[in-house]
Structure 1
Amino acid sequence: MLGASSWIEAESLYSRRLACAANRRGYLNSKVSADVWGNWFDPSVPRGLRTQSTLHTALMQLLNYPWQKYWSAAILQLEHGVTELSIIIIIIINNNNNIAPRLTTQHPLKLYTHTCFARWRLRPQTLIFVLKRKIAFVNFLAYPSLSGFAFKPKMIPKMNSSAAPCEDMWNYACGNWLKRHPLPVTHSKWGSTQELQAKYREQLRSLIVTLPHPVKVSSVTWKLKHFYESCMALDNLETDKDQPLHRIINELGGWNVLREFSHFSWDYRVNLVKLHSQYGVSPFFKISVVPDPDSPERGVIKVSPAGLGLPDRSYYYRRPDSQVEASYKRYLKDAVQKLGATSTEAATFSEEMYHFEKRIAEVTPEWSALQNPLTSYTKISIGEFENKASSIPLHDIIMAKYPTAKIDDTTDVLIPSDNYLTHISSIITTSDRGNLNNYMMWNFAMAYLPYLSQDYRDIVNLYRKELTGIQESPQRWEMCVDTTQKYFGFSLAALHERGVPFDTRQEDQTVVNSMFENIKDAAKYSIHKSGWLDSKLQQYTLEKLNSLALQVGYPPSIQAELYLDSYYKEMYVQKNNFFQNILYGVTFLQATEMSKLLAPAEEHRWMAVMAGVDAVSYIPEANKVVVPYRLLMSPYFHRYYPLSILYGTLGMQVASAVVSSILPWNVLLNPSGRLLSQDNPVVNQSLRAARWPRRFIAERIVKNHATEHVANQTALQTVIDISALKQAYNALVQAVNRLPHTHQPALEQLENDALFFLSYAQSLCSVSTIQQQDIDTSLSSKLEGSKLLRISLQQVPGFSDAYGCPADSSYLQSQLCEEIW
């Protein structure tokens, strides 16, 4: 701590000299009124500062203010009367955020005049305070590459300032962005999420290609680099053409449509086992390992609906002239014809396969029916399963997939419903062997066609263009990064995170953790206030929130090279043999699943989400919110962004994860991750508490020109989004109340709350092809951006207050649902 007597020895410095030096460097200038700082100084102290303690106290309070949250380099000029006495203090904020003040020994005038910041290199976290004798105002000269200054260029160009936010917030927030950002030709959808994904993909590419060539074949870096390089080695793919695929087809007993098949010798049971266990293909159903709902520290085998070529069962019920149906049938025909079928046989095959899959679609439950964990999946033994579905060799498939696991007829599995598997068994029993073979071999071929030569990839890409509406296929390196992520997602994410300086990661995690805790506190306060909740449900949700944990990125222990090499020990890679590497990858993924049965670890519950999901997620089995570190990138996140922007973007995702932990269906898993019993009173209370908000919001969705199907499908997630918006907003209000009042340059007309709603609105800005909109309507539980924005803002009065909306604003004309806390 500096003694006041040492300050007087410092030499004078005129403010105009300081301003000159700073402005020549391009620093931004804004004034903050003295009343913000008035409580730091005693106005009764006469000129001349009769005591040293007043100035000493003022300086110490300045030093204790967390400037490092907002600026990396800032000059605070405190005008202090007519005398020329001033003090320059350089404050170095070390890696632990401790403040160590140092008094300059150089002549201040010389320091600024000769260097003008050009040759005097400030450390990234340095604050310079210049104090003069009487406070008149505080003048900020802040380095513009941090705080809100960095976000400003991203926000303003998106806005259509001619639009009225109180009438059309979507146009106000996104209008110019929608006009100036045509959809990229290789994407069917583009918004902040896709922009972040593209940036991460480019960073992964750079990471892979710049890895030093390792010599240790067993190291994950060697495997990672050579896997990617084998994908990029197009000459080898063009030489092999379809030989790798034909070799496996022959090993599986041939393919009926290719006239390489014997009705008498082909055994569907043997081949169904091989497809599931050796090639990672899932005809009829999918088998995976998930946390046991009754004991989440253990793994259990889960059987899920699968085996359809189109994105959803609903596609098989469209009108006969559906464009999607025509595209899929053409894909079926072109693929098998390229593999050697005649034109006539290929056309017959496409019709038969479409109708065969339609039979499966008829018995496949809708995805919405599988959301309730109490009713969607039932635990039965393998012996019971095979008694009900005798045509499905489940025991043999599981034994082949997980050979070292202890599997017998008493082993429990989770199944979607008795009816589904009984119907699948019936389809198998009543189908001709030729059709069964065609269907199973098509499932195999469809999974591996993208890894063949260019002529096969062209067939796949044409179908994808017609299905999603993209104009051009992604570049080869993009496909190779995505494929490498499929098998090396954990190692890539860990290496990417390790590439960020440890201090930076710690600071990022501190910011995210602060938001998380504030949002949790806001949610708990809302629960306390919600008089309509049953007391047991209220107590239960508070207990769950109190134990809710946060995981930002990977813990250092599992980022270590030793851990990564051990994790990928069973992943084999051959130089320049991409197709074989895909097969190795399939085997490796099944080995990692088997480890969840044999020796499950706590991180197994969330590692896959951390590596493969580009969003903040809630993991009910661990009662944990998971934030992948790759989300902590600009323009989406920077630890120095203003809180209003942080809470409106990443904070909204965190809030959504927090809220989803205590709303259906995640509320049905207790704080330890165990599924509640059906007779637990919390079950009915939680479902009853959500029933009216869902119905209310579904009606509002229909009024916003959506179908009843869309309304029913998206109502629950919309309730979660509205509640998340409320909690993020409430948390922001509490956070900024503890800080001095500031404005962001070029956005001075917007207060913190208005900036929060603007950043939230802009996080929803997106554009999609018609085909992608069709897919989202069929599959997504998330309401389309513009509709979600309007409905959510209508339910949060803070928005209308922030923008001073008049009483006749459309955002004030909707009835509020008070039960959305």
Structure 2
Amino acid sequence: QTVKCDVADMICCVIVTVIINVVLLSVCVVAGNSKEVCRTPGCIKKANTILRNIDSSVDHCQDFYRFACGGFLNRTIVPEDRHMWTTTSELELRVFRRIAEEFNSTLTTIAQHRYFRLAHNFYRSCMNLDAIEDKGLEPMKEKLEHLGGWPVLDHYGIWDEDDFDWVNTTVLLMEVGWSSDMLVDLCIGTDARNTSRNRLQISQADLGIPREYLIQGLTNDIVQTYFELMVEVAVEFGAPLKFAMEELSDALMFEIELAKISVPQEEMRDHFRLNNPMSLIELEEHFPQVNWSVLITGSLQKYVIVSPEEVVDVVVPSYFQQLGLLVGRVDKRVVANYIIWHVMYESLPFLPKSVSNIRRKLMVALTGAKKFKPRWEFCLSNLLDRFEPVVGVVYVRKYFKPEAKKQATQMVKVIKQEFLKLLSNVSWLSKEARNTAIKKASSIDHHVGYPDELLDDKELDKYYEKMEMNSEDLLENVLSGQQFESFRAFSELHRPFNRTRWDLHAEVAEVNAYYVSDQNCIEIPAGILQDIFYSPDRPNYLNFGALGSVIAHELLHSVDDEGKQYDSKGNLRNWWDESTHREFEKRANQIVSEYSNYVIPEVNLTLKGVNIQGEVIADHGGMKVAYSAYHSWASHHAEEPGLPHLEQFSADQLFWLSTANSWCTKERMESIRFGVAVDVHPPPKFRINGPFRHSSLFVHDWKCPASSYMNARNKYNVW
């Protein structure tokens, strides 16, 4: 568990830890120059963190991740309600607790505003377990009847397939507020080739569990557990066990067939192949088995009028070529059971314990977490999903210091300049491609901390003027929230896309960062501008190592294998000449091949190099840019002090340690397997050892010999 210390306590923690570590550290690392030592609270806290996380018995030139994080890994026990615990988990939990305190308080200064009352009502309805239990299952049963019923509950043969049409049911789901992506995922985004306007998109189904599991069928343990969940829920709602097993076995086999016709992740990285604009008329000509006119115009009739000439981006045509045929050869009863099961699956967390607790077995199989998170945390997560701007304003107004926004913005500018220098010096770029890359990088917008509109109460009240929430009915609130989100999204269809809209940048309480390709911008939320990532009262080699690496990573996404397909305005456009494209592919393929050979011994699995290449390219280039940015900043400032009891490390070495410390992670085996199957990020160990061993800068600073693992013979980097 993470130790919480005030300044005096932290000094004691450091002294105790040093007794164990300092002798070993002094012999395993070449000492840095003698210098002044920083003793601010930020320095003491960071020094304590580094000292506690280090495992001095590990050779830093053989496994730097274990060297930097071994102490953390050795002492950390993953809480029963988590699938992993990281060095940022305590920060994330602290942010959540602070927000929860505001929603549990009647004294908050913004309580009189409508936007806060709406969010507060949602939170109260979620925390009101007595009301949820008192209502029981009857409200959900009534909603199922409104949708035409769940055939698995009709063992008397009353359900009539002549009354069922999956297209009409999908339209009804959208109208009521359920997700409607069980067969077709209908959404809105920018026109990929002209981001000044919005466009409808259709993509493949959103499946109950990842495709990678489903295509293995019932021989896969997770698929078997998923099936057991389906049956147990149906039985709890009144279906006889044997009948439920028969009915839902067919529904599961249908979902498995949907998984098989779906396109895997590795085939969805070429965005030109995913961009297939067609009018509604053309859609019906290409895929005549689906009544697209009813599906799309009906789903959107509450929000916007859609004509037959409306253009829709078809993301995966091959899926829709097979979807109509698949649905056509399956009994309507099977399709109805599948669709309504997904309505149930989506609703389970908001129902009484007798049903919602059935999810636990699948959660254990997928992630290894043994318990659900505390109710307050579950409710706050759902509040964040539906009231992100409100959660943001609650956090920012009380806990975020404006100086951090200003200082982080300056850091972004320094890092961006180094990114431009990097692009200017890449030898394999043609002159034309280099100029275009520099233009794109120069155009990257940055949103740091929070949008100013978040401090405007009138603006927030206006934003939520069409939403209603009560404090007694959680399920109704969930549906109302989804209806509101659909209204906000689809009513924009025929309006120009406005990338300056403040609500596009309202994810301010998250401990994360993003690059948005169609806006060519990076998001650095307020939540990450603190603690292990950033503090104004400590040397900048720590801040550039932790936060700077994150910022640079996001900038590098603009020229990873997916980001490079977009121009400076976020439009999908091929601006690469053939020879430059070949050079990029050669380097990217080296990384794919390298990482595809990395093995996770705990689960005996290799990484999927194709799926993670974008993150790896950004990791490799991002650390190089962040390092150069620190040196650029340092060249205009006095030498920075060292850290207490870490004087043997140079500023450059502490840069690398600061970077590594933000990735220390203890993870359950089930979660690791899940990540390998579906995550586009490599496991944390490989996010440190991978880029570091391919960096001549790291090798130089840590004096790793040519024979050591952390000094790769062939160093692969795209940028």
Q: What's the TM-score once normalised by structure 2's chain length?
A: 0.89
Whole-Å Cα distance in 2 between the matches of residues 798 and 442 of structure 1?
54
Moved more, 178-187 or 218-227: 218-227
2:29 maps to what in 1? none
2:622 maps to what in 1? 724
2:589 maps to what in 1? 695
Output the amino acid matched with 2:476. Answer: Q
Output the amino acid matched with 1:471. Answer: K
Output the amino acid matched with 2:41. Answer: S
- Aligned residue runs from structure 1 range 87-166, under 5 A: 144-146=40-42, 148-166=43-61
2:171 maps to what in 1? 273
- Aligned residue runs from structure 1 range 703-782, under 5 A: 703-705=597-599, 710-741=608-639, 742-782=641-681
Whole-Å Cα distance in 2 between the matches of residues 139 and 555 of structure 1?
40
1:711-760 deviations in Å (ceiling 9; x for gaps): 23223421221111111111112222222222122211111110011111
Work out whether 1:674 is the aligned partner of 2:571: yes
The counterpart of 2:444, out of the listed 548, 561, 578, is: 548
- Do the aligned residues in 1 keep the contact of 2:556 with 2:617 (CA within 8 Å)? no
1:303-332 deviations in Å (ceiling 9; x for gaps): 12224211x211123375321122111101
1:539 maps to what in 2? 435
Whole-Å Cα distance in 2 between the matches of residues 228 and 813 of structure 1?
51
2:419 maps to what in 1? 523
Moved more, 331-340 or 527-536: 527-536
Whole-Å Cα distance in 2 between the matches of residues 271 and 487 of structure 1?
24
2:266 maps to what in 1? 368
1:299 maps to what in 2? 198
Higher-Rg member (1/2): 1
Whole-Å Cα distance in 1 between the matches of residues 152 and 480 of structure 2?
28
**Structure 1 386/193 Cα, relative in aligned 2: closer, same or farther at 3 Å?**
farther
**Structure 1 695/674 Cα, relative in aligned 2: closer, same or farther at 3 Å?**
closer
The counterpart of 1:321, out of the listed 219, 225, 231, is: 219
**Structure 1 689/215 Cα, relative in aligned 2: closer, same or farther at 3 Å?**
closer
Whole-Å Cα distance in 2 between the matches of residues 474 and 422 of structure 1?
41
Work out whether 1:657 is the aligned partner of 2:554: yes
Cα offset for 1:614?
4.3
Cα offset for 1:500?
3.7
Whole-Å Cα distance in 2 between the matches of residues 374 and 609 of structure 1?
29
Cα offset for 1:190?
1.7
1:66 maps to what in 2? none
**Structure 1 449/644 Cα, relative in aligned 2: closer, same or farther at 3 Å?**
same
Give 3-state SS (helix, strand or coil) of 1:410's partner: coil
Whole-Å Cα distance in 1 between the matches of residues 597 and 89 of structure 2?
29
Output the amino acid matched with 2:87. Answer: S
Output the amino acid matched with 2:595. Answer: I
Q: What's the TM-score once normalised by structure 1's chain length?
A: 0.79
1:550-576 deviations in Å (ceiling 9; x for gaps): 111322124311111111112211121
Q: Which runs of 5 or more structure 2 residues have no equivalent in the other structure?
A: 1-7, 13-33
Work out whether 1:338 is the aligned partner of 2:236: yes
**Structure 1 670/606 Cα, relative in aligned 2: closer, same or farther at 3 Å?**
farther
Work out whether 1:639 is the aligned partner of 2:639: no
2:18 maps to what in 1? none
1:485-535 deviations in Å (ceiling 9; x for gaps): 11111221133112246xx31x21222122212222222222222221111
Whole-Å Cα distance in 2 between the matches of residues 589 and 449 of structure 1?
20
Output the amino acid matched with 1:670. Answer: D
Output the amino acid matched with 1:480. Answer: C
Work out whether 1:232 is the aligned partner of 2:131: no
The counterpart of 2:81, out of the listed 186, 193, 211, is: 186
Output the amino acid matched with 2:517. Answer: P
Output the amino acid matched with 2:686. Answer: K
- Do the aligned residues in 1 keep the contact of 2:275 with 2:313 (CA within 8 Å)? yes
Output the amino acid matched with 2:221. Answer: Q
Give 3-state SS (helix, strand or coil) of 2:77's partner: coil
Whole-Å Cα distance in 2 between the matches of residues 459 and 211 of structure 1?
34
1:207 maps to what in 2? 102
Work out whether 1:285 is the aligned partner of 2:184: yes
**Structure 1 215/473 Cα, relative in aligned 2: closer, same or farther at 3 Å?**
closer
Whole-Å Cα distance in 2 between the matches of residues 619 and 675 of structure 1?
13
**Structure 1 509/675 Cα, relative in aligned 2: closer, same or farther at 3 Å?**
same
- Do the aligned residues in 2 keep the contact of 1:290 with 1:300 (CA within 8 Å)? yes
Work out whether 1:263 is the aligned partner of 2:161: yes
Output the amino acid matched with 2:545. Answer: G
Output the amino acid matched with 1:316. Answer: L
- Aligned residue runs from structure 1 range 350-389, under 5 A: 350-389=248-287
Cα offset for 1:808?
2.9
1:602 maps to what in 2? 499
**Structure 1 293/611 Cα, relative in aligned 2: closer, same or farther at 3 Å?**
farther
Whole-Å Cα distance in 2 between the matches of residues 526 and 182 of structure 1?
41
The counterpart of 1:195, out of the listed 84, 90, 107, is: 90
1:565 maps to what in 2? 461
Work out whether 1:815 is the aligned partner of 2:714: yes
Give 3-state SS (helix, strand or coil) of 2:387's partner: helix
Give 3-state SS (helix, strand or coil) of 1:812's partner: coil
Give 3-state SS (helix, strand or coil) of 1:280's partner: coil
1:202-244 deviations in Å (ceiling 9; x for gaps): 1221121125389998711111111101111111111111111
Whole-Å Cα distance in 2 between the matches of residues 685 and 569 of structure 1?
54
1:512 maps to what in 2? 408
- Do the aligned residues in 2 keep the contact of 1:648 with 1:757 (CA within 8 Å)? yes
1:577 maps to what in 2? 473
Whole-Å Cα distance in 2 between the matches of residues 522 and 672 of structure 1?
21
Q: Percent identity?
A: 19
Cα offset for 1:645?
1.3
Give 3-state SS (helix, strand or coil) of 1:303's partner: strand
Output the amino acid matched with 2:115. Answer: V
1:121 maps to what in 2? none
Give 3-state SS (helix, strand or coil) of 1:767's partner: strand
Output the amino acid matched with 1:545. Answer: A
- Number of residue-to-residue matches in the alignment: 678
Whole-Å Cα distance in 2 between the matches of residues 411 and 163 of structure 1?
62
**Structure 1 481/467 Cα, relative in aligned 2: closer, same or farther at 3 Å?**
same
Cα offset for 1:709?
6.1
- Do the aligned residues in 1 keep the contact of 2:137 with 2:237 (CA within 8 Å)? yes
Output the amino acid matched with 1:527. Answer: L
Whole-Å Cα distance in 2 between the matches of residues 630 and 683 of structure 1?
40
Cα offset for 1:686?
5.6
Give 3-state SS (helix, strand or coil) of 2:713's partner: coil
Work out whether 1:622 is the aligned partner of 2:519: yes
Output the amino acid matched with 2:422. Answer: S
Give 3-state SS (helix, strand or coil) of 2:161's partner: coil
Output the amino acid matched with 1:174. Answer: C
Whole-Å Cα distance in 2 between the matches of residues 684 and 195 of structure 1?
48
Give 3-state SS (helix, strand or coil) of 1:414's partner: strand
Whole-Å Cα distance in 2 between the matches of residues 274 and 319 of structure 1?
30
Give 3-state SS (helix, strand or coil) of 2:590's partner: helix
Moved more, 520-529 or 388-397: 388-397
Give 3-state SS (helix, strand or coil) of 1:287's partner: strand
Q: Which runs of 5 or more structure 1 residues have no equivalent in the other structure?
A: 1-22, 28-137
Whole-Å Cα distance in 2 between the matches of residues 719 and 416 of structure 1?
25
1:274-306 deviations in Å (ceiling 9; x for gaps): 123323322112111111222213211111222
**Structure 1 428/608 Cα, relative in aligned 2: closer, same or farther at 3 Å?**
farther
**Structure 1 194/285 Cα, relative in aligned 2: closer, same or farther at 3 Å?**
farther
Work out whether 1:425 is the aligned partner of 2:324: yes
- Aligned residue runs from structure 1 range 64-79, under 5 A: none
The counterpart of 1:498, out of the listed 393, 397, 409, is: 397
Whole-Å Cα distance in 2 between the matches of residues 439 and 399 of structure 1?
23
**Structure 1 464/807 Cα, relative in aligned 2: closer, same or farther at 3 Å?**
closer
Cα offset for 1:646?
1.0
Give 3-state SS (helix, strand or coil) of 2:340's partner: helix
1:569-600 deviations in Å (ceiling 9; x for gaps): 12211121111111111111111112432544
2:17 maps to what in 1? none
**Structure 1 549/391 Cα, relative in aligned 2: closer, same or farther at 3 Å?**
same
Cα offset for 1:394?
3.4
The counterpart of 1:589, out of the listed 485, 500, 510, is: 485
- Do the aligned residues in 2 keep the contact of 1:189 with 1:768 (CA within 8 Å)? yes
- Do the aligned residues in 1 keep the contact of 2:251 with 2:335 (CA within 8 Å)? no
Instruction: Provide the alpha-carbon RMSD of the alignment.
Output: 2.5
Whole-Å Cα distance in 2 between the matches of residues 244 and 392 of structure 1?
32
2:246 maps to what in 1? 348
